């Protein structure tokens, strides 16, 4: 089993209902165990700021799935909740966003799969839920979530 972390986000429709339902669906997946769920945070959008605010959080999983298979499950779950990644801008509004943030201590750089998530170290809305789930968590190649949050604080 591999420990993985998934970022959650939604800024269309009933955000909290969607995120809670997605977490519920994750709990039903074979070879996936939801170990912990962070609190949800109301956050400003990144990139295209002319859109509704997001609700963000993270989940800690234990999984027997490969990173690629887990990503496939997450993308299918997004589609089930009405997300079409081919429509609209990449950082635009979405019903559900599920990002594979960390997969064990793996570093993966493939065209469709990058772990750790490329922007994890610069996004407070990702780091805070991760720190809540595991204050000692290390981001491979980046450092601890606490140190990364402190760096964001000092830059503000």
Q: CA-CA distance, 25 to 13, in Å (whole number)?
A: 18
Percent of the chain scoring above 70 in pLDDT: 92
Mean pLDDT of 78-83: 87
Catalytic residue among 3, 84, 97, 153: 97
pTM of the predicted protein model:
0.93
pLDDT digits (tens, 9 = 90+) for 37-78: 999 999 988 876 678 999 999 999 999 999 999 999 999 999
Share of the chain above pLDDT 90, in %: 74
- Give the model's pLDDT for residue 90: 67
Active site residue 53: no
Instruction: Summarize the confidence of residues 128-150 as an average pLDDT.
Output: 94
Q: Do residues 129 and 48 lie in contact, with contact meaning Cβ atoms separated by under 8 Å?
A: no
Q: What is the biggest distance separating any 2 CA atoms in the chain, rounded to whole angstroms?
A: 42
Q: Which entry of 94, 123, 124, 134 is annotated as an active-site residue?
A: 94
C-beta neighbour count of 90 within 10 angstroms: 8
How is domain 2-155 classified at the CATH fold level?
A: Alpha-Beta Plaits (3.30.70)
Of 83, 123, 124, 134, which residue is the catalytic one?
A: 83
């Amino acid at each position: 089993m591999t420990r993985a972390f998934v970022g959650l986000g939604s800024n269309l429709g009933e955000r909290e209902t969607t995120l809670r339902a997605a977490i519920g669906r994750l709990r039903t997946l074979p070879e996936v165990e939801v170990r912990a769920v962070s609190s949800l945070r109301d956050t400003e959008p990144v990139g295209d700021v002319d859109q509704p605010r997001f609700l963000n959080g993270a989940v800690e999983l234990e999984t027997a799935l490969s990173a690629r298979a887990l990503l496939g499950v997450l993308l299918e779950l997004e589609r089930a909740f009405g997300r079409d990644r081919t429509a609209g801008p990449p950082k635009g509004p979405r019903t559900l966003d599920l990002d594979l943030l960390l997969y064990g201590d793996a570093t993966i750089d493939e065209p469709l799969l990058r772990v750790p998530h490329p922007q994890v170290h610069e996004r407070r809305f990702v780091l805070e839920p991760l720190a809540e789930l595991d204050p000692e968590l290390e981001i491979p190649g980046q450092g601890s979530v606490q140190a990364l949050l402190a760096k964001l604080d000092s830059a503000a």
